[in-house]
Amino acid sequence: MTKPVKRTSDKFKLGIATWRFYLVLGVIASIYLGLMARAAYIQIIEPDMLKKQGDMRSLRVSASDVQRGSIVDRNGYELAISVPVETVWANPKVVLKNRVLAKTEYWKALAEVLGQDISTLTNRIVSHPNKQFIYLERKVSPAIANYIAKLKIPGIHLRKESKRFYPTGEISAHLVGFTNVDDKGIEGVERVYDDILTGKGGATRFRKDAKGNKIEILSVKKAQQPKNVVLSIDQRIQAIAYKELKGAVSAFKATSGSVVVTNVHTGEILAMVNSPSYNPNNRKNVAIHRFRNRAITDVYEPGSTMKPLTVLTGLNFGSIKADTIIDTNPGWMRLGGRRVSDPINRGKLSITDILVHSSNMGTSKIALSVPKDYLLGAFFDVGFGEDTGTGLIGESSGIMHDRPRWSKFELATLSWGAGLAITPVQLARLYTAIANGGVKIPLSIVKKTPATKSVIEPERVFSAQSTKDVRAMLEKVVNEHVQKAKVAGYRVGGKTGTGIKAVAGGYGNDYVGLFAGIAPIEKPELVVVVVINEPGGDLYEGAQVAAPVFSRVMKGALQVLNIAPSVHVSAINHSAKDHVKKGRHNNV
């Protein structure tokens, strides 16, 4: 006989077991479905996050930096080089985690060797607790780096970098310029040719395993090596020019000065110096105005150095000839109610005498003998009102007015260098054109190669005969009027200039002494321009302050370049020596 109650209980237990089974099965299925959905979401819909996390743990980039290219002179002498140094950096997280700040003796030693205040140094760590990299000191010397390495302070590290060094110091500072702490050129040639000098570093992307071993190289980018820049300057001549200029600025108590030396045939600048200068290796506490290259930025009224240009214009136009006589009586004249005059009445003067005596009357009459447009065109043709082609940043184009109306008085004063303002390098370009036979060529601070020389298209601005006549006149100027500009053994020609500094409303009491000259006259090779700005003593004229500097710089440059002495001068010197010897023999 069956027991119904018992059967009911069995069915109930079986129902409970089935429900639990399906519940567990459902949970397990849900888990797997959830995992599959999550995997599908991560793998298909949004895989970038995990890839990024994986790359952060395994992907590495090894950079290969390149040092900045060198700047050298035309003979390969180094003017700017990069030297290996170390940079000190800290990991604040590690420092704070290891409680390194408590070890005050370490920080005292570190602060002392870095020349910093200990509280300032430690505050930089405390104020960046979450950072893993901060600079403590950029580009320290190897000796300081070795000392810091021996301290073995946890969280303090060294990093290899390079530092710019300028072997010639203040001699070539204005031309070469300098870089900032990140090796970016910010002045001079360093800035102009920054892209060429910088190059591009290489990089290798690879994966590493948990132990740090390379397991896959993904890509390799080769470094692009920087190029060196070869300047046109000759450091030997640069050093001579700077020494003589610095001595003159000091001796005459001048505010500043500049010297430019050019190669007559190529337009290459062999020297460009300014005083006062600065040490590019240590620029702390240097006034900003001392960084500017005055030879290309500062403009002056060139004074009587413009008179050869006026004479050239008259010769080229045909209103005068080399043997023309001009009557300057009575030594003065009025133009539009204003007076033009010489210090004394010099009467009738030849064209040569007009330059020798620097006659304002003579050059004024020459200027008024040619059409206004022709005269003004000559001043523009030689490069006034434009840059000289150096490519240097900050070069001034000077002040040369291009207006339709000019009075006769303005044209007269323009003929002797008033009413315009030019840079020393523009003056050098003018005399380079006079020296090479009347051809204007761009000036260059980069050494020219046969390829670059052929690219230049020279522009003839004066006839060869006119410039030859003017060079002969300039030689007489030196021989008869500017004895201090003579160079022993060489025939030299040139012209002085004394400009009055302009102030608001007119002219002040400060002067600028100038001299521009050529040598050797029979076969010109070099042009030297000297500017002495605001001499403070009793001597201020170009013949007194600038001509002696010209003589010494020109002599040194001719000797450095091994240019043969002038035959005519050598013959005279030998004849004089023979005469002295005969005299001594007769006395005996």
Q: What CA–CA distance (Å, rounded) separates 174 from 279?
A: 10
Tokens representing 12? 């109930």
Distances (CA, A) of 115 to 146, 175, 511: 16, 31, 45
Single-letter code of the amino acid located at 78: E
Terminus-to-terminus CA distance in the chain, angstroms?
177
Nearest to residue 412, comparing CAs of 353, 365, 346? 365
Phi, psi of 260 (to 5 degrees): -130, 130
Helices 118-126, 104-114: inter-axial angle, 10-degree rounding: 110
Per annotation, catalytic residue among 304, 466, 551, 566: 304
* Of residues 313, 300, 449, 466, the one with CA closest to residue 381: 313
Beta bridge partners, 493, equal 518
256 among known catalytic residues: no
Nearest to 351 by CA among 364, 342, 368, 363: 363
Contact 360, 416 (CB under 8 A): yes
Rg (CA), the chain: 39
- H/E run at residue 304: none
Euclidean distance between CA atoms 404 and 408, whole angstroms: 13
Q: What is the DSSP letter of 315?
A: H
For residues 498 and 502, give the distance between their C-alpha atoms in angstroms, rounded to a whole number. 13
Cα distance between residue 307 and residue 333, in whole Å = 18
Token pair, residue 319, equals 């209103």
d(CA 218, CA 222): 13
Active-site residue set: 304
